[in-house]
Amino acid sequence: MAAAGAALEEASLLAWLFRGAPGSAPGPELAGYLAELAGLGLEALGREPGRLAEERALAAAQTRHLAFAHYKIFIRSAECTSETGRGFGGIERGLARLLGRLPGFQETCRSFLRDAEEIASSRRMNSLTLNRHTEILEILEIPQLMDTCVRNGYYEEALELAAYVRRLERKHSSIPVVQGIVDEVHQSSQLMLNHLIQQLRTNIQLPACLRVIGYLRRMDVFTEAELRIKFLQARDAWLHSIQASIPDDDPYFHITKTIEACRVHLFDIITQYRAIFSDEEPLLPPGEHVVNESAIFHGWVLQKVSQFLQVLDNDLQRGVGSRLDSLLGQCMYFGLSFSRVGADFRGQLAPVFQQVAFGTFRKAIQEAVDKFQDEMNSYTLISAPAVLGSTIPVTVPATQPGTLQPPMVLLDFPPLACFLNNILVAFNDLRLCCPVALAQDVTTSLEAALGKVTKTILAFHRAEEAAFSSREQELFAQFCTVFLEDLLPYLNRCLHVLFPPAQIAQTLGKNSFFPQQRSMREVPALMQSQGISAEQGGSQRPLSLTPSLPCSGSHGTSIGGSAQSTPSEVKHFTRIPA
């Protein structure tokens, strides 16, 4: 403790003594010298300044001697010091320039590091690319492979490639190369879609249809409703091409080939559709929008039936001759075959054939009336009747079974005989296709024609009455009698044969049928009003034509030989021999 205190006191004393000195504190040599002074006696301390002065003078002398002895060294040392200073100045200026260039060098180094990293990364990518060369080449060849599969018909493989590309796009959609592959595969998919739809426009069978629709569903391009529409459109285009290839020069040939094509191919299309698509109700909540997919098919079938009926009507209007019954049979068979698929349209055929049959009959009746008028313009009553005035018997052709023999007395009056023959020709044409619904129209048309004939006879009487001789007056009376008592009843029987009352009653659902009698007394009344007496016309009994109510019936291919015979008993009406 005492030593530590003494040391501390000594340090404080030294600090106080050298408080004005340049140094902050004495060095260790001074401290040692002071410790030595502290150990000297008084005399030694008195001699100490002198000793120090001697040592100082000695040191100075030695220094001068050293300087004189080694002045060259001092000169070189000064020069070296000066050069060193100048060198340090150059070094300082060089360091300053170096420091000024360090930022640019630093940026260049950073750029070099970046380039080096990019080169290293590129090298690694190139190395990885080289290692994965086979796999990358397979991916790059996907568009070409896809196009090859589509053009060669390998649709299964093409769909697998398209699915793989979709997965690749979801994972690496940001890579330009992958996006280019996706675009090219999409173009090949569109080509495959066109090829598949084009196959549906050809004569394709059901197994191939199933495959094509399966491919289209896997492509996920159309909804279910759109897929059905596309299928029907493609098959409809194929059916239309077949119909367009049928020559339309001959209406009968055109409509028969159309019926055959529609019956075969349209039935195949419906069968294919029902085998591929299901029309069951979708199991969806009531609140969601539901597309009635079955209505698509029903609407298409209705359109096809309407188009067929339009073509049928157009060809019938152009004229098919006397083959209307054969055409009706083919159409009925066509409609019957469609009943197996729930599209029986036979009920739509009756109005079409009914209109054509009645139009043909009405035209034939009008031609018969026109020919009668022409013949009456040049007819004279000078010649004696062939049957009534001749003693030579007229050879009457043998009556064939199932025929309705016309009255031979009409041979005495050629205009009436020709008129009846023309009417019978119209009846024979009508019997080939004779719907019961035409009974009223046929009766009305025939009554109108007979009214025109009656007016023609009255006009002939007014024109020739003044020049009539007694013989001609008698012949005209016989002419009127034959017209009223033979021609009209025969036509009435023919109407009963064409439209049997029993058949009409069965059609109307009645036990018996008593047709409304429409009196023909207006004919003799019209004659009497023109000055023709009942005696001139002979005894006249009431005659009637049988009108029938229009009703839906089937076509008849034959008519009866008498009013009581059935349609299967008679083949035709017998004309009066020329």
Distances 513 to 2, 476, 502, 546, 566 between C-alpha atoms, Å: 167, 38, 7, 11, 15
Please say if the pLDDT value at position 552 is more than 50: no
Which residues, 6+ apart, have CB-to-CB distance to 279 below 8 Å? 293, 294, 297
Residue 540 burial (CB count, 10 A): 17
pLDDT tops 80 at residue 61: yes
Structure tokens at 441: 């129209």
| Confidence band of 539 (pLDDT split at 50, 70, 90) | very low
Task: Please tell me whether the overall predicted TM-score, pTM, comes out greater than 0.75 for this model.
Answer: no
Whether 566 shows a pLDDT value over 50: the answer reads no
pLDDT band at 17 (very low <50, low <70, confident <90, very high): low
Rounded distance, CA 26 to CA 48, Å? 20
Residue 7: what pLDDT? 66
* pLDDT greater than 90 at residue 519: no
Q: Which residue has the higher pLDDT, 532 or 34?
A: 34
Once rounded to an integer, what is the mean pLDDT over residues 96-104?
88
User: Are 309 and 352 a contacting pair, CB within 8 Å?
Assistant: yes
d(C-alpha 309, C-alpha 349), whole Å: 8
Least confident of 165-179, 327-341, 542-556: 542-556
Kindly report the number of other CB atoms within 10 A of residue 496's CB atom.
20
Q: How far apart are CA 269 and CA 202, in angstroms?
A: 12
526-538: average pLDDT: 44
Q: Give the model's pLDDT for residue 20.
A: 60
For residues 487 and 416, the answer to whether their CB atoms sit within 8 Å is yes
65 SS3 class: helix
Give percent above pLDDT 90 in the chain.
8
The larger pLDDT score, comparing residue 548 to residue 370, is at 370
**Predicted pLDDT at 455:** 92
| DSSP label at residue 400 | P
Tell whether the model's pLDDT for residue 564 goes beyond 50. Answer: no
Confidence of residue 465 (pLDDT cuts 50, 70, 90): confident
**pLDDT over threshold 60, residue 577:** no
Q: How far apart are CA 436 and CA 498, in angstroms?
A: 9
The mean predicted confidence, pLDDT, of the chain is 77
Phi first, then psi, for residue 404 (nearest 5°) are: -110, 110
Question: What stretch of H or E contains 469?
Answer: none
Mean per-residue pLDDT, 410-432: 87
d(CA 327, CA 320): 9
Of residues 557 and 274, more confidence is placed in 274
Residues in contact with 299: Cβ distance below 8 Å, sequence separation at least 6, in sequence order? none
> If you average pLDDT over residues 325-352, what whole number do you get?
81
In order, the DSSP letters of 147-203 are HHHHHHT-HHHHHHHHHHHHHHHHHSTT-HHHHHHHHHHHHHHHHHHHHHHHHHTS-
Stronger pLDDT, 469 or 528, i.e. the higher one:
469
Half-sphere exposure of 46 (CA within 13 A, CB side): 3
Least confident of 155-159, 351-355, 363-367, 492-496: 351-355
Give every CB contact of residue 470 below 8 A, 6+ residues apart in sequence: none
Question: Of the ranges 31-45, 425-439, 448-462, which one carries the lowest mean pLDDT score?
Answer: 31-45
Q: What is the pLDDT of residue 548?
A: 29
What pLDDT was estimated at residue 576? 57
Q: Using an 8 Å Cβ cutoff, are 396 and 521 in contact?
A: no
pLDDT for the residue 23: 56
Is the pLDDT at 430 greater than 70? The verdict is yes
State the pairing for strand pair 403-404/572-573: parallel
Exposed, middle or buried: residue 386 (CB in 10 Å: 0-12, 13-18, 19+)?
middle
Helix (H) or strand (E) holding 330: helix 324-338
| Phi/psi of residue 185, nearest 5 degrees | -65, -35
User: Quick one: pLDDT at residue 115?
Assistant: 92
pLDDT-based confidence at 117, cuts 50/70/90? Answer: very high
**pLDDT (tens digit, 9 = 90+) per residue, 359-374?**
888 888 999 999 999 9
Cα gap 509→36, rounded to integer Å: 166
Angle at 366 between CA 361 and CA 369, to 5 degrees: 125
- The string of pLDDT tens digits covering residues 383-405 is 545 444 443 444 445 545 456 78
Asked whether the predicted pLDDT for residue 572 surpasses 60, the reply is no
pLDDT in tens, 119-145: 999 999 888 888 888 888 888 888 898
